[in-house]
Chains A and B, each alone.
Chain A
Amino acid sequence: MITGNSDWVQKLETLAAWLLAFLWAAPLLYAAWAAFHPMDFVTRFDPLAPLTLENFRNAWKVAPFARYFFNTFVLVTITLAGQFVLCTMAAYAFARFEFAGKELAFILVLVQIMIMPDVLIVQNYQTISSLGLVDTILGIGLPYMASAFGIFLLRQTFKQVPRELEDAARVEGAGPIAVLWKVYIPLSRPTYLAYGLVSVSYHWNNFLWPLIITNSTESRPLTVGLSIFGAPESGVDFSVISAGTLLAVSPLLIAFLLFQRQFVQSFMRSGIK
């Protein structure tokens, strides 16, 4: 921004930024406090309070977190794999081929930006049910594999690949598939990385659709497991819930803290039109 600010304005801005940052981080910090201390200290901020791992042990016992982790991992992986394949092909078609009905098809793709499978729960549930995929991980991921967002992003990227490279490959006798594989995909690695991070974050945290599709621990991901874990009939024990919550968010959180720049860059890149 414009430099040459007076000193106190600068200081004020720094203060504001830090205050806001503290407010924003407070809930998570608080959850960490509650998770590592016994139940009595949930609202007492005694700096000498004993640390304990008991809450984590209890949380682990009460719900099958290992299974939930596994399910979530499989879910984001197969969803992303499906997205890579389907969106790459579709983006390639839009970027480099002229075919009948191309504009109409593109507009129909646009529709999904506004109307995602998430809001069409009633009908999509019936579809998945008739495919026999209720309570399966595939059933959770299937509606998302054709992602309008992914198609947009990749189409954008493919369009920016210089034609000369494609022509060079064709001269050597490569067909369209080979060109895709040898030229377009390798050159779009940054976009794939960006899209991958966005997709994984989104599907790791998705709740409503997995809630509807899964019935048992067989396919249940972390988010749904957390909601059950956090809402038992008789009452909630906040320190155990904090521990369970931290367990569930830790992979993504640690990944984020370690690879902050990549995460931020990915989201930034995916927003540039």
Chain B
Amino acid sequence: MKKQLFKAFLFLVVVLTFVCTGMATQAATVNLNMYYPVAVGGPITKTIDGMIAEFEQENPDIKVKAVYAGNYDDTRVKALAALKANQPVQLSVLFSIDVFELMEQDAIVPFDEIATSPDDKKWIEGFYPSLMENSRAKGKLWGIPFQRSTIVMYYNKDAFREAGLDPEKPPATWTEMAAAAKKLTKRDASGNVTRWGVQIPSTGYPYWMFQALSIQNGEVLMNESGNKTYFDKPAVIEALQYWRDLAVKDQVMPEGTTDWGTLRQKFLEGATAMMWHTTGNLTAVRKDAKFNFGVSMLPAGKRRGSPTGGGNFYIFKNATPEERKASLKFIKFMTSPELTARWSIATGYVATRPDAYETATLKKYVAEFPAAAVARDQFKYATAEFSTYENARVKKFLDDALQNVLTGGKSASDALKGAQDQADRTLHSYR
């Protein structure tokens, strides 16, 4: 009888041990919630989900859940709202320029505190420097580039040929672009335009497009500390005047604002021969274009240039030390050369690291489709995207001024001076 009891007891102990270990390993699973802005049109969710599944296979103790929250603005609003409501959110892909706002809301942790090993440091140094510009503030590193872009010029090669232009030599300067656009603008018998020469979108993210023009004329729009803007510098005013003149003087662009969302469709339907747009459109344009198209760097004013754009990974302060470590692991995985290459091909975003371009995957793709390398090559002329404290508000001052001028309101100089005043009043308490 005693032996039976003892055996039963032993059995129980063994079972309990298994159960407890099982529970312990369960408890050791880290759950990560990640907000991300699926920002390009296309079945991107599948790609992200696939990459997450691969990660979870390699790391069975970490579970990642991706929350699709809309475009960049929506995602920022949502992520901050979730944080304020104390919902579990550990990391997110957010606009690279939200860094000051996130710092001010005390929402994020600098990577310097988490990525401490020599291996980590090597990994950080592997990104394109121009992409890291938007990540550094107050001497610390706050974001890791993930889906980054620049603006490129898409042009209709068939239209070029038709207008007597060389389809392999897209315009390289402002003057060349205006001249080419004049040849490309088609009018019907009654003088109505059936095809515009070039269009630059001025809704959605007008400040981003304007940054390109401004840097091409030699000026940046804000300082590195995010507390001063330069809207009323003469070269900046000149840049806006060039934009406006394309519509009014050269008449190669429609008056009024050009819609961000529908521009791609207009290009595909041949309503415009050239368009400035994010490199993130590349895959979609390639799929849907029924004509030969080309992609080139933006033309130079005094120099070439484009702002970078897109999203970085951020880790939130709310995350526990364990969750932070897990997040870092995940981020390093997602930005490994091979995955970066795959992500770039699927979306058209630029690969964020030189070593991604060395992978067989991306080498092959670029060989077949040289347009994919244009944005990368433009990196050496790239500058940080517009980022300041109270970013949403200050951006709006600039956006409103730009739209005002493009719809025939104030002069470029008046509008930009007005915006500069407003920005100064908002930012002056941060200096």
Contact = CB atoms under 8 A, between A and B. Distances in A.
Contacts of A116: none
Nearest to A58: B43
B87 A235 contact: no
B261 to A, nearest CB: 4
A200 B209 CA distance: 43
A228 interface: yes
A232 B82 CA distance: 21
Contacts of B260: 235
B81 to A, nearest CB: 6
A233 interface: yes
Interface in A15-74: 39-40, 43, 58, 61-64
Contact of A216 (B41, B42, B78, B262): B78
Contacts of B39: 232-234
A215 B78 contact: yes
A238 interface: yes
Contacts of A129: 84-85
Given A129-B84, A134-B81, A216-B69, A235 B43 contact: no
Given A129-B85, A217-B68, A232-B38, A238 B265 contact: yes
A39 B264 CA distance: 13
A61 B43 CA distance: 7
Given A61-B46, A62-B45, A217-B67, A232 B40 contact: yes
A238 B268 CA distance: 12
Name the residue among A215, A216, A235 with the largest chain B CB count within 10 angstroms. A235
B216 interface: no
Given A62-B43, A228-B70, A234 B78 contact: no
Interface in A152-206: none
Interface in B70-95: 70-72, 74, 78-79, 81-82, 84-87
A214 to B, nearest CB: 8
Contacts, number: 92
A234 B69 contact: no
Contact of B261 (A217, A228, A236): A236
Contacts of A63: 68
Interface stretch (B108-116, B183-191, B277-285, B402-410): B277-285
B282 to A, nearest CB: 9
Contacts of B45: 61-62
B231 to A, nearest CB: 25
Interface in B343-392: none
Contact of B81 (A61, A132, A215, A238): A215
A237 B41 contact: yes
B40 A234 contact: yes
Given A233-B40, A234-B277, A237-B265, A132 B69 contact: no
B40 A134 contact: no
A234 B264 contact: yes
A232 B71 contact: yes
B87 A215 contact: yes
Nearest to A212: B81
A215 B69 contact: yes
A249 interface: no
A231 interface: yes
Contacts of A64: 68
Contact of B82 (A39, A215, A217, A228): A215
B263 interface: yes
A135 B85 contact: yes
B288 interface: yes
A11 B294 CA distance: 58
B337 interface: no
B264 A235 contact: yes
A216 B280 contact: no
A132 B87 CA distance: 9
Q: How large is the interface on B (under 10, 10 to 19, 20 to 34, 35 or more residues)?
A: 35 or more
B85 A132 contact: yes
B143 interface: no
Contact of A134 (B67, B87, B290): B87
Name the residue among A63, A64, A132, A215 with the largest chain B CB count within 10 angstroms. A215
B37 interface: yes
Contacts of B67: 215-217
A40 B290 CA distance: 10
A235 B282 CA distance: 11
A6 to B, nearest CB: 42
Contact of A235 (B46, B68, B70, B262): B262
Interface string B252-270: 0000000011111100010
A132 B85 CA distance: 7
B312 to A, nearest CB: 15
A235 B263 contact: yes
B316 to A, nearest CB: 14
A237 B43 CA distance: 13
B81 A39 contact: no
B264 A231 contact: no
A185 B264 CA distance: 57
A215 B260 CA distance: 24
Contacts of B288: 39
Given A62-B43, A215-B78, A228-B74, A235 B265 contact: yes
A135 B265 contact: no
Name the residue among B35, B87, B264, B281 with the largest chain A CB count within 10 angstroms. B87
Contacts of B78: 215-216
A234 B278 contact: yes
Interface string B56-75: 00000000000111111010
B87 A233 contact: no
Interface string A236-257: 1110000000000000000000
12 contacts: A58-B43, A62-B45, A63-B68, A134-B82, A212-B81, A215-B67, A216-B67, A217-B67, A228-B69, A233-B39, A233-B72, A235-B284
Q: Which 7 A-B pairs have the closest CB atoms?
A: A235-B264, A233-B39, A134-B85, A228-B70, A215-B78, A216-B67, A234-B281
Interface of B: 35, 37-43, 45-46, 67-72, 74, 78-79, 81-82, 84-87, 260-265, 269, 277-278, 280-281, 284, 288, 290
Given A61-B43, A134-B82, A236-B264, 19 more contacts: A61-B46, A62-B42, A132-B86, A134-B81, A134-B87, A135-B82, A215-B69, A215-B78, A215-B81, A215-B87, A216-B35, A217-B67, A228-B71, A234-B277, A235-B261, A235-B264, A235-B265, A236-B41, A238-B265
